Amino acid sequence: MKWAAILGLTLVVVIIWMVDRKAVKASTGRTKLTFWFLNVLGWVIGALLFFFPDMPGPSQVWLFIFKPLSNILGLH
């Protein structure tokens, strides 16, 4: 079942590529690199969320990083 979701996610990324193909082809190298980087990063994060749905979100990562700093400075 998870592989079907990964296939669907891949299909969405391919559709995004097909829709934006002409605009990306006519753009500079830096824009192309950014487009592909964001698409691949989105695909990887989506695939990880299918396999590990209890992954911490961005706010939990920020708390993990800055909570000790907050305690040291006495800001809580």
Note the pLDDT tens digit of each residue in 27-46.
888 999 999 999 999 999 99
Name residue, tokens 């040291």: 72
Lookup result for tokens 């559709």: 15
Give the DSSP letter of residue 4: H
d(CA 3, CA 58): 25
Which regions of the chain are under pLDDT 70? 76
| DSSP-assigned letter for residue 27 | S
Q: What is the predicted pLDDT for the residue at 72?
A: 86
State both tokens at 72: 């040291």
